[in-house]
Amino acid sequence: MTTLLRVDASFRVEGSISRGLADSAQSAWEAEHPDTKVVRRDLGLNPLPADAWPAAISAKFAPAESRTPQQRAAVMFSTALADELIEADAAIIAVPLYNFGISQHVKTWIDLLLADPRFAPGAPEPMAGRPVLFALARGGGYGPGTPREGWDHATPYLQRIFGDVFKMDVRIAAAELTLAPVTPAMSELIDLSKESEAAAHVRANEHALELARRLVRPAA
């Protein structure tokens, strides 16, 4: 049996593009591994406590016997989040672009992962080579030659953390111009937005299938 960690970050459920892309990827994965155990972490609907990370970090500088109840709880929480990722054979992480970056809830989740000693510099890199698929939704256009080229500060950051720090095998399925259907000033871009979304679903499906097929099933 395989384990798939799915993390969602959109505040929306109905009509969420990033959740829809993650659905496509999850369905493709489960088609190859129907016995998959899916672990869900919904950062959009159930945000992580903002004070957990400073408490977990401050605990590192306090002797175990003198840690406050808040510090001990934060360390346990950080460990539990890291366990979810480390115990997964693959991860699907659905992240919308908010104000040109990631939401504070995604940042808190990543910060708490990095607070775990297993992700500290010099640690054995438990996620090296493990696949992660990002399902991304961007309200505008940020590609080469667009007026806001370079304004997407989410995708490079996610690639740095999960690709360069965690050494994971990163794949991306991204839909752009997702706000066109609900933004009058972008009405002329609606067709392009639909094309981008459709192409992103194809990429999500293809990436998930490829990664699922690469995973060697344990011998019975």
| pLDDT given at position 216 | 61
Cβ proximity of 68 and 129 under 8 Å? no
Of 62, 73, 166, 72, whose CA–CA distance to 119 is shortest? 166
Indicate whether 220 belongs to any domain.
Answer: no
176 CB neighbour count, 10 Å cutoff: 26
Indicate whether 219 belongs to any domain.
Answer: no
Indicate whether 31 belongs to any domain.
Answer: yes
Examine the pLDDT at 150 and tell me if it is beyond 70.
yes
As a whole-number percent, the residues of the chain with pLDDT over 90 amount to 94
DSSP string for 43-105: TTTSPPPTTHHHHHHHHTTS-GGG--HHHHHHHHHHHHHHHHHHT-SEEEEEEE-BTTB--HH
| pLDDT given at position 163 | 98
| pLDDT given at position 215 | 83
> What is the pLDDT of the chain when averaged over all its residues?
95
**What sign does the dihedral 29-35-36-41 (CA atoms) show?**
positive
Examine the pLDDT at 219 and tell me if it is beyond 50.
no
Question: How many domains in the chain?
Answer: 1
Half-sphere exposure of 159 (CA within 13 A, CB side): 9
Distance separating alpha carbons of residues 15 and 138, to the nearest angstrom:
14
Examine the pLDDT at 149 and tell me if it is beyond 60.
yes
Q: What is the pLDDT of residues 54-113, one digit of tens each?
A: 999 999 999 989 999 999 999 999 999 999 999 999 999 999 999 999 999 999 999 999
Confidence at 220, pLDDT banded by 50, 70, 90: very low
Of 220 and 90, more confident = 90
Confidence at 199, pLDDT banded by 50, 70, 90: very high
Cβ proximity of 18 and 38 under 8 Å? no
Of 80, 120, 95, whose CA–CA distance to 174 is shortest? 95
Mean pLDDT lowest for which of 35-39, 41-45, 119-123?
A: 119-123
Distance separating alpha carbons of residues 110 and 168, to the nearest angstrom:
14
Residue 46 sits in which domain range? 3-214
CATH code of the domain containing 37: 3.40.50.360
Examine the pLDDT at 17 and tell me if it is beyond 70.
yes
Confidence at 133, pLDDT banded by 50, 70, 90: very high
Longest dimension (CA), the chain: 62
